[in-house]
Amino acid sequence: MGPENSNKANNYPRPTAPFVPPQTNSPFTSSRPVIGSQPSPFTPTSAPTPPTTSPSYPPGPVSGSSGPAFRPVQTGRPTPPYGPPTSGPFQRFPTQPFPLSSQPPPPHTSPVVQPISSPITRPPPSQFPPMSNFQNRQPPIPTMPVNGVPSSINGPPMQQPPPSIGSTHPAVRPAQTSTWPGYPGVQTSSAAPVSNQGGYVAPPPTSSVPFSSHQVGYGPTPPVASPLGMYGGPTPPTGGMAGLVEDFSSLSIGSMPGSYDAGLDTKVLPRPLEGDVEPTSFAQMYPMNCNSRYLRLTTSAIPNSQSLVSRWHLPLGAVVCPLAESPEGEEVPVINFATTGIVRCRRCRTYVNPYVTFTDGGRKWRCNICALLNDVQNDYFASLDSNGRRVDLDQHPELTKGCVEFVAPAEYMVRPPMPPLYFFLIDVSIYSVKSGMLEVIAETIKSCLDKLPGSTRTQIGFITFDSTIHFYNMKSSLTQPQMMVVSDLDDIFIPLPDDLLVNLSESRTVVDAFLDSLPSMFQDNLNVESAFGPALKAAFMVMSQLGGKLLIFQSTLPSLGVGRLRLRGDDIRAYGTDKENALRIPEDPFYKQMAADFTKFQVAVNVYAFSDKYTDIASLGTLAKYTGGQVYYYPSFQAAIHKDKLRHELARDLTRETAWEAVMRIRCGKGVRFTSYHGNFMLRSTDLLALPAVDCDKAYAMQFALEETLLTTQIVYFQVALLHTSSSGERRIRVHTAAASVVADLGEMYRQADTGAIVSLLGRLAIEKSLSYKLEEARNAIQLRIVKALKEYRNLYAVQHRVGTRMIYPESLKYLPLYGLALTKSTALRGGYADSQLDERCAAGFTMMALPVKKMLKLLYPSLLRVDGYLLESSMKADVFEKVCKRLPLAAESLDSRGIYIYDDGFRLVVWFGQMLSPDVFRNLVGEDLATDFSRVSLVRDNEMSRKLMDILKKLRGADASYYPLCHLVRQGEQPREGYLLLSNLVEDQVGGMNSYVDWILQIHRQVQQ
Amino acid sequence: MCCIYIRESLHTEEKEVRDGGDTCMATVLLHPHSSPCCRCLSDLEFDYINPYDSASRINFVILPEFITQGVLCLIYLLTGHWMMFLLSLPYLYYNVRLYTRNQHLVDVTEIFNQLNWEKKQRLFKLGYLIFLLFITLFWMIYNALEDDEM
């Protein structure tokens, strides 16, 4: 909101995150006098503070609430030094000796901080981590840059270079080199003066210190080295590079002596081998923000002008996962404003959050989003203490935490909260029976009945269908379910007004009896037809009273009645023409219409498809797409192979915590507006997402735009509100609040970019594009965006620095090209007709549209682990597994024919056995016969090594419960299984006409330079 | 409009004028189809109406609009107004193309994503119709005056 505020936040040393949010401001509030005593631009601010706010700035020690810290902004904003920075963020505070967030604080700052710190210990210790903590943490700060997180504000400490900076670097070195083992390797002709600023261009081998950009950013500017900064020689660099060098990373590209190829060493390319590294600077700047698992912005520096937006070529938006699973001990607090009613802003309807400020002795509060002054209801009133903090702050989690859940009173309901409702629509035609699907699902549903959320309120119902539709009367007074067959498909009617949908606890015995007899009931069914459309309509009629979750199990192409589909997609000529995309959208408008109707009546549809032949997932998936559901696809389902996967995923679907009849809205500050939404939901109005059912495995992406040409605020707030009915039957509102600073500098936007969120959004945009354009165009769009972004970034620095032929990119986006490449090679977007089955492509597309960020990144750049060393070493304990088995680059080069590798993308595990693997190991793991058919072999054997391998697989599966990765075994050279299971997924290799990583980088680099 | 038509036709039985009047009427008939759609779409944007109602209202008038437009073109053709026919031909082509691709109806699930485009398209159509109306009127009055002078 105000300039001071952001400064204060920056001022706050990084490792002190444990502070309870509101108090974080306090040091800065109280530090005001200290700052004021210096010739700093802050002085004027305290002076013009209007009388109302003045009490909140007693010169003495303050333990401020969020209120006072933010308040001056509204009044004292106009101080000139805070005007839009011209180039670097640090220039905003030209005379500020204060360390910015992630810099090693110059020594003289600690005296400044210390006086502040002592008063801080006065508030109750329960809220305030002792200040000694604060101080103790200071010494490690200089090494903070090691963490490799691009600092939020990266200006070099202007005045006092820490004398120890030279010694910091050696300390840094091991961490860096171990992380990027290959980096020091490259030596190229581009030994330009600045060649070392990036992490990836290393000087000749002797000086093995690749200074990564962010470190460089902290370096002081000793006059000695600044003129040249030549750093190619073996002489260890002084901090000299720092002054010259901006914080970007670079790759040397161009032929070098002794190398025959394009001059790019594959080893130096950045790879996300640590998985998803979230930028932490954001969370540290605004510790009261909700956790990044709920909300991630593509860049946490919001551009302040349209022109800046147009120069940021990547998507500008957020990825929201409103119900993400929180780890133990971090449960979302539930707040019940029983008497008060939920406290919201009168005008913009923002929920009360940690960033609102209380004034007027606690009688008014100012909305942080629209700045309206609201009255505090009597019940909610608490007086402010001398620092302007509410005295009862510790009893109000909604004022200290960015993520809370409110219990909603009756005015948030249009009808009584619905019970959890599960309805099953099961295809019982011949293929379902023969593949064993029917048996597995009957078994799984039965085993989950006790664990369904909602205890005694849960409702359940079944319809089965082949060429006719079978209804089941489950009335609790019956002992056996009654089956009613409707064969008139043109005019669907429901044979019973109720009892098709029953309360589970009352009719438990009937349901059990039904599930027991279901597989045997149809075991001789030879019907091959599928009256899917009419059955869907029947299910809709049954469910439309209440809403709920509809699980569809479909194993053939719908062939009868309304909504029948025809075989398509086998026409190879359609690919590459304008008609190509028509294959990826529903053929029959019936499906879209049904989806819209389902959403209207609060029904979420999950589609399970099992066929070995074409089932038109594009059409069926539409039902899931617009109802907030999910598509599960098991091509060529065979119970013997896929049983565990189906069982796990169905059980997860049935038992995970689900929020019902939900709507979600994201609000943001003035001047910013959300323009488009991407994911599985239906828009009910321009900014309201209708989500009949939401759970922790669903994420939604959205893009925003600036409404005004110039943003005048200094902070933009985002608030995600999800109004839902919990399984326990309570209406609740989950609220996530986050703040992000507004910047005027493009470099800062790049520095604070979040690759994960960007890739997630880019992927969703590309998949949406593939629905109306050719795949080729969707892929090109990704490439173009990356090229434009890097080009803009290059222009930003090319003038100041001689970047030569090197490729430069921000540290925060170092993985972006690789993820972009992985996107173009993902199942949903890769190749053409032959590269993946149409159904698989569509199913992957639907899945990717709903994936949370981490899961998406895992899918795009799966992990590849070499495990034979670990298996052979008998003494090793299971807990050293992570240390022994490091992730390897996803290239065929990483595969050694003497080893065993596990490939894990979160959806499947592939265990790859090298050809030269020792026979002993082989025998221990897969048995005697070398010629065994690997698609059928089982890994479970009674010996140490096999048990160890099973432990590894279990551990990998346990990392994320949302899907069950099925394990495939494959032997080197075993075609075609090796090809489609593993080789085609090695992202960095050249597969089927798609670029390899090196080619891709070269291509992007060429285009950037044009 | 009708008044002009009647008065003019009282003055003369000249065929030209009557035809001008007919086409005038047809053009006028088209207007009610475009403007409510626009209003519906902007209501939707400001959340005065839900997408389901909005889509069904808009879809209700789309086919009549296409048919009326086709009839108008036919009248132009039959009465030998070649210029007018050519002028309205692109509109007809666009409608036919939408219809054959099955894109003529508003999709309730995607209505918000298509909102801007739909609005633009309808405003453009409206402008086009107003232009046609203007030309027709001009033509009719011009003829009538000429007849008077004779």
The arrangement of strands across the sheet holding A908-913 comes to: A863-866, A900-904, A908-913, A966-971
**Residues of A with Cβ-Cβ distance to B44 under 8 angstroms:** 685-686
Residue type, A391: V
Please report the pLDDT score of residue A334 as a whole number. Answer: 92
B1 pLDDT tier (thresholds 50, 70, 90): very low
A174 part of contact set with chain B, CB < 8 Å: no
B108 part of contact set with chain A, CB < 8 Å: yes
Instruction: Give the least confident one: A416-425, A933-942, A979-988.
Output: A933-942
Q: Scanning the structure block, which residue is given the tokens 């810099």?
A: A103
Instruction: Give the least confident one: A219-223, A461-465, A792-796, A858-862.
Output: A219-223
Q: Distances from the Cα of A49 to the Cαs of A6, A29, A71, A387, B22, in angstroms? A: 18, 13, 9, 15, 73
The arrangement of strands across the sheet holding A317-320 comes to: A295-297, A317-320, A700-706, A672-678
Do the Cβ atoms of B109 and A596 come within 8 Å?
yes
Residue-wise pLDDT tens digits, A442-488: 999 999 999 999 888 999 999 999 999 999 999 989 888 999 999 98
Q: Scanning the structure block, which residue is given the tokens 């920056």?
A: A10
Please report the pLDDT score of residue B30 as a whole number. Answer: 63
Interface of A with B in 663-682 (CB under 8 A): 676, 682
For A958, the enclosing helix (H) or strand (E) is helix A944-958
Please tell me the distance in Å from A856's CA to the nearest CA on chain B: 24
Q: Scanning the structure block, which residue is given the tokens 């939020």?
A: A152
Please report the pLDDT score of residue B23 as a whole number. Answer: 56
Mean pLDDT, range A179-185, rounded to an integer: 37
Q: Distances from the Cα of B18 to the Cαs of B27, B74, B137, B144, in angstroms? A: 14, 16, 12, 10
Mean pLDDT, range A233-238, rounded to an integer: 35
Contacts 24+ apart (CB under 8 A), B122-126: B122/B34, B122/B37, B122/B38, B122/B41, B123/B38, B125/B34, B125/B91, B126/B31, B126/B34, B126/B35, B126/B38
Do the Cβ atoms of A682 and B47 come within 8 Å?
no
Q: Distances from the Cα of A273 to the Cαs of A407, A719, A833, A953, A963, in angstroms? A: 42, 33, 31, 19, 22
Q: Scanning the structure block, which residue is given the tokens 């006086």?
A: A115
Q: Is the pLDDT of residue A273 over 60?
A: yes
Please provide the average confidence, as pLDDT, over all residues in chain A: 75
Do the Cβ atoms of A676 and B51 come within 8 Å?
no
Do the Cβ atoms of A683 and B112 come within 8 Å?
yes
Name which of A197, A215, A9 is nearest A93 in CA terms: A9
**Residues of A with Cβ-Cβ distance to B45 under 8 angstroms:** 686
B119 part of contact set with chain A, CB < 8 Å: no
A248 pLDDT tier (thresholds 50, 70, 90): low
Highest-confidence segment of A42-46, A255-259, A529-533: A529-533
Q: Is the pLDDT of residue A31 over 60?
A: no
Mean pLDDT, range A882-891, rounded to an integer: 81
**Percentage of chain A with pLDDT > 90?**
37
**Residues of A with Cβ-Cβ distance to B113 under 8 angstroms:** 676, 683
Please tell me the distance in Å from A708's CA to the nearest CA on chain B: 19
Higher-confidence residue of A538 and A868: namely A538
Residue-wise pLDDT tens digits, A971-991: 888 777 888 888 888 888 887
Q: Is the pLDDT of residue A569 over 50?
A: yes
Please report the pLDDT score of residue A228 as a whole number. Answer: 32
A262 Cβ neighbours under 8 A, 6+ residues apart = A253, A254, A255, A998, A1002
Q: Is the pLDDT of residue A61 over 80?
A: no
Residue A399 has phi, psi (to 5 degrees) of -100, 0
Q: Which residues pair with A405 in a beta bridge?
A: A334, A734
For A548, the enclosing helix (H) or strand (E) is strand A548-554
Residue type, A961: A
Instruction: Give the least confident one: A30-44, A262-276, B49-63.
Output: A30-44
Mean pLDDT, range A80-102, rounded to an integer: 39
Please report the pLDDT score of residue B22 as a whole number. Answer: 56
**Residues of B with Cβ-Cβ distance to A600 under 8 angstroms:** 52
Q: Are A782 and A816 in contact (CB under 8 A)?
A: no
B114 pLDDT tier (thresholds 50, 70, 90): confident
Residue A356 CB-density burial (10 A; 0-12 exposed, 13-18 middle, 19+ buried)? buried
**Residues of A with Cβ-Cβ distance to B115 under 8 angstroms:** 686
Test mutation, A349, A682, A765, A768, chain B, max B CBs within 10 A:
A682
Kindly identify which residue of chain A lies nearest to residue B115, measuring between CA atoms. Answer: A686
**Residues of B with Cβ-Cβ distance to A414 under 8 angstroms:** none
A267 part of contact set with chain B, CB < 8 Å: no
Please report the pLDDT score of residue A263 as a whole number. Answer: 56
b/e per residue B45-71 (b: at least 16 CB within 10 A): beeebebeebbebbeebbeebbebbee
Interface of B with A in 41-70 (CB under 8 A): 44-45, 47, 50-52
Q: Are A390 and A399 in contact (CB under 8 A)?
A: yes
Instruction: Give the least confident one: A244-248, A499-503, A542-546.
Output: A244-248
Distance CA A538, CA A914 (A): 53
Choose the closest CB to B107 out of A592, A676, A684.
Answer: A592
Distance CA A815, CA A845 (A): 22
Please tell me the distance in Å from B124's CA to the nearest CA on chain A: 23
Rounded to the nearest angstrom, the gap between the alpha carbon of residue A306 and the centroid of all alpha carbons in its chain is 26
Please tell me the distance in Å from A851's CA to the nearest CA on chain B: 21
Please tell me the distance in Å from A622's CA to the nearest CA on chain B: 10
B112 part of contact set with chain A, CB < 8 Å: yes
Test mutation, B53, B112, B113, B119, chain A, max A CBs within 10 A:
B112
A878 pLDDT tier (thresholds 50, 70, 90): low
Residue A357 has phi, psi (to 5 degrees) of -120, 140
Residue-wise pLDDT tens digits, A747-797: 889 988 999 999 999 999 999 999 989 888 999 999 999 999 999 988 888
A250 Cβ neighbours under 8 A, 6+ residues apart = A195, A197, A198, A200, A201, A803, A806, A807, A808, A809
Choose the closest CB to A596 out of B108, B113, B115.
Answer: B108
Kindly identify which residue of chain B lies nearest to residue A590, measuring between CA atoms. Answer: B107
Kindly identify which residue of chain B lies nearest to residue A582, measuring between CA atoms. Answer: B101
A548 pLDDT tier (thresholds 50, 70, 90): very high
Residue-wise pLDDT tens digits, A291-349: 888 999 999 899 999 999 999 999 999 999 999 988 888 889 999 987 788 999 998 99
Please tell me the distance in Å from B45's CA to the nearest CA on chain A: 6
Residue type, A17: A
Distance CA B90, CA A758 (A): 42
Choose the closest CB to B52 out of A592, A600, A626.
Answer: A600
Do the Cβ atoms of B52 and A595 come within 8 Å?
no
A174 pLDDT tier (thresholds 50, 70, 90): very low
Higher-confidence residue of A350 and A50: namely A350
B102 part of contact set with chain A, CB < 8 Å: yes
Kindly identify which residue of chain B lies nearest to residue A675, measuring between CA atoms. Answer: B113
Per-residue three-class SS string for chain B: CHHHHHHHHHHCCCHHHHHHHHHHHHHHHHHHHHHHHHHHHHHHHCCCCCHHHHHHHHHHHHHHHHHHHHHHHHHHHHCCCHHHHHHHHHHHHHHHHHHHCCCCCCCCCCHHHHHHHHHHHHHHHHHHHHHHHHHHHHHHHHHHHHHHHC
For A641, the enclosing helix (H) or strand (E) is helix A639-655
**Residues of B with Cβ-Cβ distance to A627 under 8 angstroms:** none
Please report the pLDDT score of residue A38 as a whole number. Answer: 39
Test mutation, A414, A627, A686, chain B, max B CBs within 10 A:
A686
Helix (H, G, I), strand (E, B) or coil at A818: helix
Do the Cβ atoms of A596 and B52 come within 8 Å?
yes
Do the Cβ atoms of B52 and A676 come within 8 Å?
no
Please report the pLDDT score of residue A181 as a whole number. Answer: 38
Instruction: Give the least confident one: A28-37, A271-280, A554-563, A653-662.
Output: A28-37
Count the Cβ atoms, other than its own, within 10 Å of residue B150. Answer: 7
Higher-confidence residue of A38 and A600: namely A600
